């Protein structure tokens, strides 16, 4: 990739330095549940190290199903999906667990254990690495040190000893992001991570995820309902409607008018055959 000389004054991001090899590669992906109608129909998607990709679509468009297909929680009915070198349609015993351990997930409702401390919630991200003995006997000093470093990185190290339920929504989402990073993930999937947050906190959380993608070279796929947030906080945008991919382009080439096709006719056609729960 050729970068104009005028841009050399700033450090190059991970996305700019990346080899042109996707960490995630999806081709003609089809997903159906129990012999029902297709929830995803012919989706193509590449995710590269260092970029944050926004996934747009109404409820029932297939956003959550696409994410779940990348961790083996949605059945692949046709096509192919590869994550970190693993072919999800042909995994050997034990490989699915490895794939899931390599994917950090951030959810709308945070999925923290409210009565446990913030630090302990972050440490649970290391369960795969720590092994069964450490689950009973406690995490290592190295794990605790890393968890505190991650809490400092997301700006809430001072809350480490407090129960997670005592934090605000935005703070809890930062704990969830630190927990995902504790896994040392190769990929981060964030499913509506700001749907429960106010506008200011939404921007703060998305800025944090974008910085992680850029600075750590980790692809971040984030599903959103709010179009302006996608335009403001992503490198590329993918738009789904009723399981079909209608938009896939760099954010710099898109605007609200170009993305309107993702939401056209929803009033007339309803929200799709299958809700975006899978």
Q: Please write the tens of the pLDDT for every residue from 226-249.
A: 999 999 999 999 999 999 999 999
How many CB atoms lie under 10 A from the CB of residue 103?
Answer: 21
Residue 222 near residue 53 (C-beta atoms within 8 A): yes
Total-model pTM:
0.86
Tokens 């747009």 appear where? 56
In this structure, the answer to whether residues 95 and 224 fall within a common structural domain is: yes
Identify whether residues 203 and 239 lie together within a single domain: yes
For the chain, the domain total comes to: 2
Is 109 part of a structural domain of the chain? no
- Residue 174 shares a structural domain with residue 247: no
Identify whether residues 178 and 210 lie together within a single domain.
no
Give the pLDDT of residue 244: 95
Assess contact for 151 and 178: CB atoms under 8 A.
yes
Given a contact cutoff of 8 angstroms between Cβ atoms, the answer to whether 162 and 118 are in contact is yes
CATH number of 32's domain:
3.40.50.300
Residue 68 Cα distances to 92, 100, 213, angstroms? 19, 10, 20
Identify whether residues 123 and 155 lie together within a single domain. Answer: yes
Tell me how far apart the terminal alpha carbons of the chain are, to the nearest angstrom: 38
Q: Are residues 97 and 166 in the same domain?
A: no
Structure tokens at 195: 């749907």
Instruction: Answer yes or no: are the C-beta atoms of 175 and 111 closer than 8 Å.
Output: no
Residues 273 and 258 in one domain: yes
Based on the fold, state whether residues 230 and 129 are members of the same structural domain.
no
- 179: in domain: yes
Instruction: Map residue 32 onto helix, strand or coil.
Output: strand
Query: Do 209 and 197 share a domain, yes or no?
Result: yes
CA distance 170 to 180: 15
Same domain, 80 and 204: yes
| End-of-domain residue from the set 168, 184, 200 | 184
Domain hosting 123: range is: 114-184
Residue 81 lies in a domain: yes
pLDDT tens across 240-273, in order? Answer: 999 999 999 999 999 999 999 998 865 544 443 3
The model's pLDDT over 63-112, given as tens digits with 9 standing for 90+, comes to: 999 999 999 999 999 999 999 989 999 888 789 989 999 999 999 999 99
Q: What share of the chain in percent tops pLDDT 90?
A: 73
Helices 169-182 and 141-153 sit at what angle, rounded to 10 degrees? 140
Q: What is the CB-side half-sphere exposure of residue 40 using CA atoms within 13 A?
A: 34
């Amino acid at each position: 990739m050729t970068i104009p000389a005028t841009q050399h004054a700033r450090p190059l991001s991970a996305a700019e330095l990346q080899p042109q090899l996707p960490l995630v590669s999806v081709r003609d992906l089809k997903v159906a549940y129990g012999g029902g109608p297709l929830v995803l129909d012919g989706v193509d998607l590449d995710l590269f190290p260092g970029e944050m990709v926004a996934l747009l679509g109404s409820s029932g468009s297939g956003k959550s199903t696409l994410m779940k297909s990348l961790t083996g929680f949605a059945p692949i009915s046709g096509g192919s999906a590869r994550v970190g070198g693993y072919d999800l349609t042909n995994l050997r015993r034990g490989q699915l667990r490895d794939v899931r351990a390599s994917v950090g997930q951030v959810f709308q409702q945070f999925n923290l254990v409210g009565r446990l401390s913030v630090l302990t919630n972050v440490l649970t991200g290391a369960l795969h690495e720590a092994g069964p003995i450490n689950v009973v006997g406690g995490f290592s000093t190295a794990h605790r040190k890393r968890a505190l470093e991650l809490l400092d990185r997301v700006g809430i190290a001072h809350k480490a000893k407090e129960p997670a339920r005592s934090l605000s929504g935005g703070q809890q989402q930062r704990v969830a992001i630190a927990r995902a990073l504790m896994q040392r993930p190769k990929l981060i999937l964030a499913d509506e991570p700001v749907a429960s947050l106010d506008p200011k906190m939404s921007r703060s959380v998305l800025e944090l995820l974008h910085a992680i993608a850029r600075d750590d070279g980790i692809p971040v796929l984030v599903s959103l309902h709010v179009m302006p947030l996608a335009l403001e906080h992503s490198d590329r945008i993918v738009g789904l409607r009723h399981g079909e991919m209608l938009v896939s382009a760099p954010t710099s080439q898109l605007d609200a008018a170009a993305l309107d096709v993702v939401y056209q006719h929803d009033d007339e056609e309803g929200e799709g055959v299958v809700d975006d729960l899978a």
